[in-house]
C-alpha cells in the first residue's frame, strides 16, 4: 500500500507540472521519465529495507513477548499471533490443542448416544467368553449420556507433567479414568509415567473413547481387555535414536481390573511388555506395527452365568492370564495432505491363554448342588480389521469386521462328570462375529456427529440389529492424540 501511494504522488507531481511542460522537448520528457523511474527505484529499495527491518523487529518481539508484556500494544499483537498459531495447529491435528488459556488446561468431552437395539441389552452375552453382561454390552436402549470426561493437564515444572481425567458414566457414576505424572526431557529417549493410565497393550486400548473411529470397542477388546484396560502402576518407554520409529516399553501394575483382579497383596499383579516400529512410505503414507505381551494373575475373578435349568449362578476363576496382541496401522493421504481426503486401515489380533481353577456357585446356594472347584485351561483368540475413508472434507465412512474364536476350553468340572456342559453355558464353543458400518460428519475439530449400523452375532442363536446416533463435543483445551 505504501508503494502504491508513493507511485501516485510521483505521477501526480509529474502531472501537476507547469503548463509550459506540455510544450517541453522530447529530451526534457525523457529526463522527466528517468527521474520518475529513479524515484520509483529509490522508494522501492527504501520500502524493501523497511519491510525487512519490520520483519526482524516482529521476530524479536515474538521471542521477547514475556519481557515486553508491560507494553499493551505489543501484548495485543502477540496475543493475536498466538491465537492464529493455535488455530493453525488445531487444523493440522484435526483436534483442539490450545493449553495456553488455562493453567492447568481444562477440557470437557460431551458424548451422547441414541441406541436402537433389536435384542434386549439386559441379556447381552458374548458366548464362549468372559467377561459378559453390562460391562461390555451395547448400553441401554433409547437416549442416554455416553461416557463423558473432564480433563485437567499441565506441566508441573521443567521436569514433570500431570494429567487427571475423570469420567462421567451414563448411570451417574463418577470415576478416575486416568491420573498420572509423566517426566519431561529425560535423557537417552526415556520417558517415565506413574499413576493410573491406559495400558499400552495393543493399539486401540490407550486411545480415549471419544477419539475412536466407531461408537464402541471391537469385540476382541471387550472380551480380552474388559473393554479398555487402565491400571495403577508405572510405565517406562525408550525411543531409539534412529530414522525409523522404534520404541520399547514396559509396564508394572497392580492388576486391579480384568483380565486380572484387585488383590490385597504386595508386589506386581500385572506386567506388560511392548514394542513398536513405524515409518513413512513416500510422502503420502505412514505405518506402525506393534507387539504386546500382557501377563496378570486373577484371584476370585467372578462372572455371572446360567445353570442347566436357566437359573442365575455366579462363578469365579483363579489363575494366570497371558495375552499377546499384534497390531498394525496404515494411514494414507495424497501428498501427505489429509484435509481433503485420507484413508486409515487398522487391525489387531489377540491370543489369550488362561490356566487355573474354576469355582462353580461361589455363593454355595444349595439349589445348585453346592460349591465345586476344578481346573480350567483355555486358549482363545480374536481379531478385527477396519477401514475409515474421508471422501471429502468433514465427511468419513468406515467399515469394521470383528471375529472371535472360543477355541479350546478344558473344564475339569465337566471332564470329571461333576457338572454338565449345560451348567457352564458361557464356555460353549462358538465364533461370535460383528459387521459394523458408520458415517460421521465433523463440521469442525471440536464436534462430530455419527450414524452407525451393526449386525452383532455375539450371542449364539441371536442377531442383534443395532443403530447408534452419536454426538461428540469438545470444550476447552485438549491435546492431540497419538498416531
CATH number where 220 lies: 2.40.160.10
Q: Which of 139, 153, 88 is nearest to 111 (CA)?
A: 139
170 and 44 co-located in one domain = no
Q: What is the mean pLDDT of residues 146-162?
A: 92
Whose grid coordinates read 509529474? 14
Element (H, E) at 2: helix 2-15
- Which is more confidently placed, 51 or 466? 466
Asked whether residue 77 is assigned to any structural domain, the reply reads no
Q: What is the pLDDT of residues 251-304, one digit of tens each?
A: 999 999 899 988 888 889 999 999 999 999 988 999 999 999 999 999 999 988
- Give me the pLDDT at residue 129, please: 92
Rounded Cα distance between 459 and 384, Å, is 17
Q: What is the mean pLDDT of residues 228-251?
A: 96
Asked whether residue 140 is assigned to any structural domain, the reply reads yes
Position 9 confidence tier, pLDDT thresholds 50, 70, 90: very low
Over pLDDT 70: what percentage of the chain? 79
- Give me the pLDDT at residue 19, please: 41
Burial of 428 (0-12, 13-18, 19+ CB in 10 A): middle
In this predicted structure, which of 91-100, 172-181, 336-345 has the lowest mean pLDDT? 91-100
451 and 355 co-located in one domain = yes
Q: Which of 44, 54, 50 is nearest to 3 (CA)?
A: 44
Asked whether residue 91 is assigned to any structural domain, the reply reads no
Asked whether residue 82 is assigned to any structural domain, the reply reads no
Q: What is the mean pLDDT of residues 312-330?
A: 95
Rounded Cα distance between 163 and 107, Å, is 11
Residues 6+ apart with CB under 8 A from 457: 432, 433, 434, 463, 464
Give the structural domain span for 129.
102-476
Asked whether residue 387 is assigned to any structural domain, the reply reads yes
Q: What is the pLDDT of residues 341-350, one digit of tens each?
A: 999 999 999 9
Whether cis (ω within 30° of 0) applies to the bond prior to 417 is no
Position 127 confidence tier, pLDDT thresholds 50, 70, 90: very high
438: left (phi over 0), alpha (psi -120 to 50) or beta: beta
Position 17 confidence tier, pLDDT thresholds 50, 70, 90: very low
31 and 155 co-located in one domain = no
Q: What is the pLDDT of residues 170-208, one digit of tens each?
A: 888 899 999 999 999 899 999 999 999 999 999 999 999
457 and 310 co-located in one domain = yes
pLDDT tops 80 at residue 55 = no
**Domains contained in the chain, number:** 2
Cβ-defined contacts of 443-451 (< 8 Å, 24+): 443/394, 445/90, 445/91, 445/93, 445/94, 445/95, 445/96, 445/474, 446/96, 446/473, 446/474, 446/475, 447/471, 447/472, 447/473, 447/474, 448/472, 450/215
Asked whether residue 244 is assigned to any structural domain, the reply reads yes
pLDDT tops 70 at residue 57 = no
Q: Based on C-alpha coordinates, what's the Rg of the chain? A: 32
Asked whether residue 20 is assigned to any structural domain, the reply reads yes
26 and 153 co-located in one domain = no
- Give me the pLDDT at residue 134, please: 56
Q: What is the pLDDT of residues 408-442, one digit of tens each?
A: 999 999 999 999 999 999 999 999 999 999 999 99
Asked whether residue 88 is assigned to any structural domain, the reply reads no
Q: What is the mean pLDDT of residues 89-108?
A: 59
- Give me the pLDDT at residue 265, please: 83
- Give me the pLDDT at residue 34, please: 74
Q: What is the mean pLDDT of residues 14-39?
A: 59
pLDDT tops 70 at residue 352 = yes
Whether cis (ω within 30° of 0) applies to the bond prior to 446 is no
**How far does Cα 146 stand from its chain's mean position?**
16
30 and 112 co-located in one domain = no
- Which is more confidently placed, 232 or 477? 232
Mean pLDDT value across the chain: 84
Position 224 confidence tier, pLDDT thresholds 50, 70, 90: very high
Question: 312-332 and 285-306 as β-strands: parallel, antiparallel, unpaired?
Answer: antiparallel
145 and 214 co-located in one domain = yes
Q: What is the mean pLDDT of residues 132-145?
A: 81
pTM higher than 0.85 for the full model? no
Amino acid at each position: 500500500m505504501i508503494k502504491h501511494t508513493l507511485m501516485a504522488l510521483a505521477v501526480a507531481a509529474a502531472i501537476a507540472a507547469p503548463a509550459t511542460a506540455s510544450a517541453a522537448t522530447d529530451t526534457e520528457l525523457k529526463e522527466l521519465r528517468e527521474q520518475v523511474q529513479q524515484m520509483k527505484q529509490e522508494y522501492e529499495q527504501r520500502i524493501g529495507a523497511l519491510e525487512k527491518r519490520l520483519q526482524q523487529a516482529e521476530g524479536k518481539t515474538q521471542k521477547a513477548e514475556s519481557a515486553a508484556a508491560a507494553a499493551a500494544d505489543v501484548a495485543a499483537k502477540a496475543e493475536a499471533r498466538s491465537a492464529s498459531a493455535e488455530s493453525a495447529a488445531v487444523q493440522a491435528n484435526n483436534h483442539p490443542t490450545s493449553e495456553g488459556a488455562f493453567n492447568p488446561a481444562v477440557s470437557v468431552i460431551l458424548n451422547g448416544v441414541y441406541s436402537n437395539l433389536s435384542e434386549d441389552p439386559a441379556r447381552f452375552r458374548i458366548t464362549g467368553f468372559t467377561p459378559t453382561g453390562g460391562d461390555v454390552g451395547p448400553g441401554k436402549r433409547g437416549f442416554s449420556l455416553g461416557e463423558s470426561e473432564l480433563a485437567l493437564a499441565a506441566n508441573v515444572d521443567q521436569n514433570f507433567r500431570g494429567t487427571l481425567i475423570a469420567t462421567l458414566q451414563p448411570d451417574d457414576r463418577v470415576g478416575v479414568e486416568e491420573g498420572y505424572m509423566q517426566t519431561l526431557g529425560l535423557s537417552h529417549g526415556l520417558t517415565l509415567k506413574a499413576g493410573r493410565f491406559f495400558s499400552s497393550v495393543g493399539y486401540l486400548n490407550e486411545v480415549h473413547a471419544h477419539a475412536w473411529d466407531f461408537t464402541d470397542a471391537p469385540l476382541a477388546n471387550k472380551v480380552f481387555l474388559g473393554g479398555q484396560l487402565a491400571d495403577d502402576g508405572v510405565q517406562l518407554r525408550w525411543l531409539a535414536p534412529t530414522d525409523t520409529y522404534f520404541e520399547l516399553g514396559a509396564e508394572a501394575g497392580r492388576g486391579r481390573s480384568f483380565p486380572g483382579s484387585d488383590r490385597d497383596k504386595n508386589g506386581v499383579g500385572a506386567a506388560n511388555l511392548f514394542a513398536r516400529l513405524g515409518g513413512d512410505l513416500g510422502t503420502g503414507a505412514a505405518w506402525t506395527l506393534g507387539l504386546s505381551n500382557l501377563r496378570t494373575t486373577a484371584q476370585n475373578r467372578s462372572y455371572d452365568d446360567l445353570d442347566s435349568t436357566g437359573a442365575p449362578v455366579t462363578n469365579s476363576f483363579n489363575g494366570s492370564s497371558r495375552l499377546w496382541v499384534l497390531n498394525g496401522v496404515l494411514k494414507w493421504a495424497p501428498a501427505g495432505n489429509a484435509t481433503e481426503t485420507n484413508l486409515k486401515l487398522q487391525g489387531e489380533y489377540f491370543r489369550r491363554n488362561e490356566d487355573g481353577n474354576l469355582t462353580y456357585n461361589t455363593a454355595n446356594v444349595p439349589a445348585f448342588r453346592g460349591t465345586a472347584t476344578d481346573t480350567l485351561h483355555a486358549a482363545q483368540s480374536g481379531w478385527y480389521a477396519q477401514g475409515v475413508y474421508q471422501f471429502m472434507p468433514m465427511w468419513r465412512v468406515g467399515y469394521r469386521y470383528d471375529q472371535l474364536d472360543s477355541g479350546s476350553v478344558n473344564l475339569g468340572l465337566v471332564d470329571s462328570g461333576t457338572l454338565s456342559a449345560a451348567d457352564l453355558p458361557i464356555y460353549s464353543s462358538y465364533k461370535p462375529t460383528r459387521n459394523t458400518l458408520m458415517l460421521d460428519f465433523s463440521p469442525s475439530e471440536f464436534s462430530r456427529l455419527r450414524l452407525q449400523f451393526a449386525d452383532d452375532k455375539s450371542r449364539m442363536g441371536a442377531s442383534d440389529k443395532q443403530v447408534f446416533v452419536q454426538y461428540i463435543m469438545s470444550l476447552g483445551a485438549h491435546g492431540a492424540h497419538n498416531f
